[in-house]
Structure 1
Amino acid sequence: MHDSTSEISQVKHSLTKNRSEHLGKDVWSDFVIPRFFNRVPLISTMPIRLEGGRGSGKTMLLRYLSYHSQFSGDRKKLPENAADSVGLYWKADTQFLRIMQKRSLSDEDWSPVFDHYLNLRLGLEVLSSIKLIANSAYEAVDKVSLTNVIFEGALDFGFENTSFEGVLKEIGSRIRKTDTIIQNVSGIDTLEKLPVSFLHYLVESAKEQIPGLEQTVFSVYIDEYENLLNYQQRIINTRIKHSEPPLIFNIAIKLNGMSETQTLSDERLENKADYAIVNLDAEIERSGFDDFVSEIFLKKLSEASPTIAKELKIDLNACSNPDNLEYRFSAEYRRHCREIVEGIFPGRSHQDLADEIFETSRYYNKLTSEIERALIMRHSSLKAEDFILQNYRKASIVCSSLLYRRNLDPEKIKAELDKLVSNIDNKFTNKTDWEHNNFIGCYLRIIRSHKAGSTFYSGFDVYSALSGKNVRHFLELSKSAFSLLDDSTLTEKFIIDRALQHIAAKNTSDELVKEITRFTPLGSQLSNFVKALGRIFQLCQDKETQSETEVTHFGIKEDDSPLTEEDDKFFKEAEKWGVLQAIESTKNKSSASAAIYDYVLNPVYSPFFLISYRKGRKIEIESSTIRQMYLLGEAAITKEVRKKMRLSGLEDSTVQPKQATLL
């Protein structure tokens, strides 16, 4: 047992800082470099569009690429070419930028104001970056040289000062004055607006006058681009279109976040010709999400817990240096990280879950009553004890659904069970695989009425799957699990009891479902849809026959009411916010873009509904029902819809569905 609660408190506090905003501008020591870092051109003279869902790490990555981190005070030695690329991070203040519209002014009136404000902000970043570089461990730039810089051209832009510090201070003053004028609107006509040439002048002049910056390219990283107003996006698009060294513009957006491709001229932004796309979600998955998230989690723990740090016996500080990627890909390193995380989050097998049913009285009683009810309905003379076998618990649990299937005679099911006991070929374990294909669905149906006592959502693999390849979701699940720990649950090591893990997953899922309503502008509709969809999946799972096991995704069947542009917009928003994930459909469908895909509900919402988190079976939902689901929520699941989708009543099943493997 630990001597005090301070260590566990520090760990809990560390896990609460799961957003980059909690860490400040310098994230050098906190950042775990993605494993794709050296494979993807994140630093290039070609503009980059970095896209990914919420929690994919866009902001953290951009802050790592910025000068605050690259020239961090924590770096005692910097490479000779460190200043070849200097990242300037700018995250738009959405609330402030959105007041730059209307109020008796047109977008044409606001455009030069935003352009001016952008030039000031980026000008401030250029000079601030140079000042920080000069004060860092980078030896090629001497801070004394800044005192010799004279920006003579600043006079032409109306500046009163020409020294480095003087221009820097005056830019700050102009920003504050511009802020005030924008807030009050009055005085905008008289505002002396700076053109983009001012920004280019600062960059070129600084490169010419400051030794060590001759080869420098400034890369601007604009975060949350999708939150900019359309006319503001057009201004940024123009900067991207005309990017060239020494000033390159890059953007980070959510999936489907780039609604505007127009520039200030007749030209449009064109993929490949004007910018490269880096999909962060795809790259993280491709390079190994489990390995990546285990490192992030262990790095946080090791910083807060001397116990974990001592046990790790590996240098997690290496995670911030791209030179150490090869070491991190080694089998020994990955296995070591995995073993520690799995020790903290112990999982369970199918057999463990079967034991839980048999050893928990309320679950065992439910199993018995379901089998008894099925035998009565089938007018069978067999007894429940004929199907409940202590040494064959998984098969016994599966019988609670098989006995409801009208195409299966109870006597034949009993005969197959006898074959299993006799260790001869049988349908429970041969290619028919009744046991594997139906176990999880049967298990979830039995525990539904007492779901809090389960351990279903436990284990590192399960938490990884629930997170939906989203780092933030994994950290939320971990934080929730650790928050349930107290002195009585601590042992020699941090081990989260499986029952606590399950409760933590349920709590996290509940909070994330509540959060959906805040996803502007369609939060209410997205919330309605998730609750309606979860209800449909519950109804599929609650069938006695378990004829459609672990339904977690759906396709769109266009009926007399085909999909509209409004429907298409809804699905793009659902993807943008990570509520749904689009996957290629197995069928050729209409030209309506949303109907081309199948959709998977984000697995992090699964515990809220007590449904499977795995990609199992698919159902078809008519487009007219889809529309009602996001407009009305659960009220859209009428008796007529249930009947049409066969969501209630007994159902014959002659084809056994294949079930995904347990993660």
Structure 2
Amino acid sequence: MQVIADAFLNTRADHLPDDLYKNFIVPPFFRRISIFTDPRSVRILGGRGCGKTMFIRYFCHATTFSPKRLSVADSEIGGIGLYFRPDTGFCALMSPEWLGERVARLAFSHYVALSLLLEARRAVRSLEKANLSDGPLPLEGGHLGRSLVKLLELSEPSLDALETRVCDLLDELELWVRNPRQRPEPTFISFASVIPKLGEDLSGWSARMTSIAFRSFIDEFENLQPAHREVICDAIKHPHKRLTVHIAHKRDAVTDFKTSSDERIVLLHDLRSIDLEEVLQTESEFELLAAELFLLRLHEANATFHCPMFDPEKLHDIKDLEYRLSDQYRKEVLRCVREILPVLSAPEISRIVVSDAPLRRRLRDYLQKGLQLQKEEQRYTPDDLISDTSPEASIVLGALLNRRSQKAVEIIAQFQQSTQPGKDRAADPFYKVGGWVDNNLYGCLFHLFAGLPRRANILYAGFERYCRLASPNLRFFQELCHTALLLAFQRQSADRLEGQLRVDPEKQAIAAKQVSEALFQDILELGSHGARLLEIANRLGRVFEAFNRRRSQSEAEINHFSIDQADQQDLSPVSKELIREAKVWSVLYEEKDTKNKSDYDVSQSDLVLNRIYTPRFNISYRKRKKITLRAGEVDVIFLHSSAQFELLLKTLVEPDDTNRPQTSDKLF
């Protein structure tokens, strides 16, 4: 018996078997990458939780030659994937300070060589078990060449002898690295030469193996010491037809690809990049992938749902991608998931606001303060301005009345015209495209809900909104689903559920807040600057939270910032390093600025607080408006004392000052 919610607990590739075939969903972007045929090395980029390890392990031998795959082409032998994640603690011992500079490099290359040889031996075993379309490929009777036998001092020229010897050599290496003064130095070998030697030997074992080649995937490349990265870059710079070296690392974590000489890896010429966060950022593609993952997990938990076009067996092979990308398939899959994780539209939430007693009182207070600001409280009452049939207009009117730039008589007259029965809204100033409601409703709703912090904010509920909060991180999406299903069904299994599988929006909203709080606290554990990053994220959240508290909502939904281009050179080196670290750990995302409103603002990128943290601060997850900060203001947020930050916060955001410009020129 499996609890439905627990189907979403396995969010890390480390917790899954080496054979990921039934766990991996081929993403839509596979149509646009050429890792399948490109002979060049590739670096796979992405933040924590975006699926780097899952991605590269899909291309490694255990999955490529999975017995669960019904037909494997012989062409796969031309690029057998070998997965290698260095033991960072062990690698740290292979340092120049401990072993000497030259020996440390040789020892690391030796460690990589032995690890990849062991993985290659396992790959041959996987190949033998594969359902090759041209029939089985028995290989146990083959013999290794004289060079490899001599180099490794094998007892016999067999793969079993190779495996035994390599395991012994790894044990010897570990003992020597930990006790270099007490034990004899090993005879070092190079992975860049020994793996091609093995490939050459295997190529003669069968006519079907003449094109055999290995692709080594080095995971967590950023955790290697600079000297060790140079050893890997040497192999990238000088590839062999039997060996290609790929690397995976966190985005922005590695900027220098120096080899052991004065040369450097040249992007495009030596190395291509696949940025998983970038290719997953496409909203429609992330939604489809997330929906398929959701249904796959429910299927594994034996849950019942109605989606005839969904076939779990078609998720794992690229040949089925065309079927999954059809408009009809996408429509059916998204429909099914939306029924389980329903979303309430902004107009629907507006109707809830005017029918729910606490929220209606909050709206009355909102309108009352606007009337007082406009000195019109004698002429109108808040109840005169709350329309049960046009609640969106009433909610937005609250913000407009709190703006000194608006004249109450004119705006109330427009409101009264908008709320007349049968009114054509196409040209109505409140309801037309680009009108008051279109531009302000979401910001006003976030403002209203923020005033009731104990009330679940249903603006975070719904499948699409879960995708917006999590994208491009499927791990975050699964955490949201797990918590929502746990709140809705507790520890129930699928066979005990009664009625339709559906999670109430309020429970979804509570789950979003819980996950947001938990992941926010996790920032403390991110890298060596976790405590600082937590404080930075908290301060940025408080800035955006303060903007959301402004009754005027004159700049609604502010949730990201940019640094004035002309001022960036004055940013302190420590702040620059912390920005880089925040991007490495996906606390901040850097995105292209596409909404400059003036000629003088020439900044080219925005820094966005990870949207998964927005429920914690009750702020918008939509990228709508930003604040442009000067270098000194960024330094205060990132580095200075709490007292200085509080002073800056007051100069940046005055809740009832509706005419303040976006950029402060005070104090800093």
Q: TM-score by structure 1 length?
A: 0.91
Contact 1:528 1:631 in 2 (8 A): no
In structure 1, which of residues 269, 276, 280 is the aligned counterpart of residue 272 of structure 2? 276
Aligned-partner SS, 2:93: coil
Structure 1 residue identity aligned to 2:483: S
Contact 2:550 2:656 in 1 (8 A): yes
Whole-angstrom distance in 1 between the partners of 2:81 and 2:396:
58
Aligned-partner SS, 2:171: helix
Deviation at 1:166, TM superposition (A): 0.8
What is residue 437 of structure 2 aligned with on the other side? 435
Deviation at 1:440, TM superposition (A): 1.7
What is residue 50 of structure 1 aligned with on the other side? 44
In structure 2, which of residues 12, 17, 21 is the aligned counterpart of residue 28 of structure 1? 21
Whole-angstrom distance in 1 between the partners of 2:320 and 2:106:
46
Whole-angstrom distance in 2 between the partners of 1:126 and 1:505:
44
Deviating more after overlay: 492-501 vs 159-168: 159-168
What is residue 231 of structure 1 aligned with on the other side? 227
Query: Is residue 2:443 matched to residue 1:449?
Result: no
Query: Is residue 2:536 matched to residue 1:539?
Result: no
Structure 2 residue identity aligned to 1:134: E
Aligned-partner SS, 2:99: coil
Residue deviations 1:248-296 (CA, integer Å, cap 9, x gap): 1111122112233111122111111111112222223347211122112
Contact 1:402 1:413 in 2 (8 A): yes
What is residue 373 of structure 1 aligned with on the other side? 369
Deviation at 1:102, TM superposition (A): 5.4
Query: Is residue 2:474 matched to residue 1:471?
Result: yes
Structure 2 residue identity aligned to 1:623: A
Contact 1:45 1:244 in 2 (8 A): no
Structure 2 residue identity aligned to 1:612: S
Deviating more after overlay: 533-542 vs 200-209: 200-209
In structure 2, which of residues 140, 143, 146 is the aligned counterpart of residue 149 of structure 1? 143
Aligned-partner SS, 1:320: coil
Residue deviations 1:453-472 (CA, integer Å, cap 9, x gap): 33111111111111132222
Q: Which runs of 5+ in 1 are unaligned?
A: 1-5, 656-663
Structure 1 residue identity aligned to 2:478: L
Structure 1 residue identity aligned to 2:447: R
Contact 1:537 1:611 in 2 (8 A): yes
**Kindly tell me: are residues 653 and 387 of structure 1, through their superposed partners in 2, closer, same or farther at Cα, counting changes over 3 Å?**
farther
**Kindly tell me: are residues 472 and 572 of structure 1, through their superposed partners in 2, closer, same or farther at Cα, counting changes over 3 Å?**
same
Aligned-partner SS, 1:650: coil
Whole-angstrom distance in 2 between the partners of 1:186 and 1:35:
54
Contact 2:546 2:653 in 1 (8 A): no
Deviation at 1:426, TM superposition (A): 4.3
Whole-angstrom distance in 2 between the partners of 1:378 and 1:82:
73
What is residue 388 of structure 1 aligned with on the other side? 386
What is residue 415 of structure 2 aligned with on the other side? 417
**Kindly tell me: are residues 633 and 208 of structure 1, through their superposed partners in 2, closer, same or farther at Cα, counting changes over 3 Å?**
farther
Q: Which runs of 5+ in 2 are unaligned?
A: 663-668
Deviation at 1:191, TM superposition (A): 2.0
Deviation at 1:189, TM superposition (A): 5.3
Structure 2 residue identity aligned to 1:170: R
Aligned-partner SS, 2:28: coil
Whole-angstrom distance in 1 between the partners of 2:419 and 2:295:
45
Residue correspondence of structure 1 range 555-574 to structure 2 within 5 A:
555-557=562-564, 562-574=570-582
**Kindly tell me: are residues 563 and 41 of structure 1, through their superposed partners in 2, closer, same or farther at Cα, counting changes over 3 Å?**
same
Residue correspondence of structure 1 range 42-441 to structure 2 within 5 A:
42-43=35-36, 44-101=38-95, 104-138=98-132, 144-162=138-156, 163-187=158-182, 190-196=185-191, 197-286=193-282, 288-308=285-305, 311-380=307-376, 381=378, 382-422=380-420, 423=423, 426-430=428-432, 433-441=435-443
Whole-angstrom distance in 2 between the partners of 1:363 and 1:540:
20
Whole-angstrom distance in 1 between the partners of 2:108 and 2:599:
45
Deviation at 1:12, TM superposition (A): 1.9
Deviating more after overlay: 602-611 vs 370-379: 370-379
Structure 1 residue identity aligned to 2:51: G
Whole-angstrom distance in 2 between the partners of 1:618 and 1:193:
56
Deviating more after overlay: 219-228 vs 577-586: 577-586
Aligned-partner SS, 1:264: coil
Structure 2 residue identity aligned to 1:419: Q
Contact 1:506 1:607 in 2 (8 A): yes
Output the aligned Cα RMSD. Answer: 2.6
Deviation at 1:550, TM superposition (A): 0.2
Aligned-partner SS, 1:250: strand
Query: Is residue 2:513 matched to residue 1:506?
Result: yes
Deviation at 1:184, TM superposition (A): 3.6
Whole-angstrom distance in 1 between the partners of 2:154 and 2:656:
82
Structure 2 residue identity aligned to 1:297: F
Aligned-partner SS, 2:252: coil
Structure 2 residue identity aligned to 1:639: L
Contact 1:468 1:602 in 2 (8 A): no
Whole-angstrom distance in 2 between the partners of 1:174 and 1:104:
20
Query: Is residue 2:615 matched to residue 1:597?
Result: no
Contact 2:280 2:471 in 1 (8 A): no
Whole-angstrom distance in 1 between the partners of 2:173 and 2:194:
16
Deviating more after overlay: 230-239 vs 423-432: 423-432
Whole-angstrom distance in 2 between the partners of 1:386 and 1:430:
23
What is residue 658 of structure 2 aligned with on the other side? 651
Whole-angstrom distance in 2 between the partners of 1:302 and 1:312:
13
Whole-angstrom distance in 2 between the partners of 1:559 and 1:220:
44
Deviation at 1:404, TM superposition (A): 1.6
Deviation at 1:568, TM superposition (A): 2.6
**Kindly tell me: are residues 560 and 161 of structure 1, through their superposed partners in 2, closer, same or farther at Cα, counting changes over 3 Å?**
closer
Residue deviations 1:343-370 (CA, integer Å, cap 9, x gap): 1110011122112212221111121122
Structure 2 residue identity aligned to 1:470: N
Residue deviations 1:100-123 (CA, integer Å, cap 9, x gap): 225543333311111111111111
Residue deviations 1:515-559 (CA, integer Å, cap 9, x gap): 112221322222121111111111111111111100011111365
In structure 2, which of residues 486, 489, 496 is the aligned counterpart of residue 486 of structure 1? 489
Deviating more after overlay: 98-107 vs 443-452: 98-107
**Kindly tell me: are residues 142 and 321 of structure 1, through their superposed partners in 2, closer, same or farther at Cα, counting changes over 3 Å?**
closer
Of all paired residues, the percent bearing the same amino acid is 26
**Kindly tell me: are residues 107 and 483 of structure 1, through their superposed partners in 2, closer, same or farther at Cα, counting changes over 3 Å?**
farther
Whole-angstrom distance in 2 between the partners of 1:531 and 1:520:
17
Residue deviations 1:82-131 (CA, integer Å, cap 9, x gap): 32221111112223222322554333331111111111111111122112
What is residue 617 of structure 1 aligned with on the other side? 625
Deviation at 1:505, TM superposition (A): 0.6
Aligned-partner SS, 1:209: coil
What is residue 658 of structure 1 aligned with on the other side? none
Aligned-partner SS, 1:220: strand
Structure 2 residue identity aligned to 1:637: F
Query: Is residue 2:40 matched to residue 1:40?
Result: no
Contact 1:548 1:617 in 2 (8 A): yes
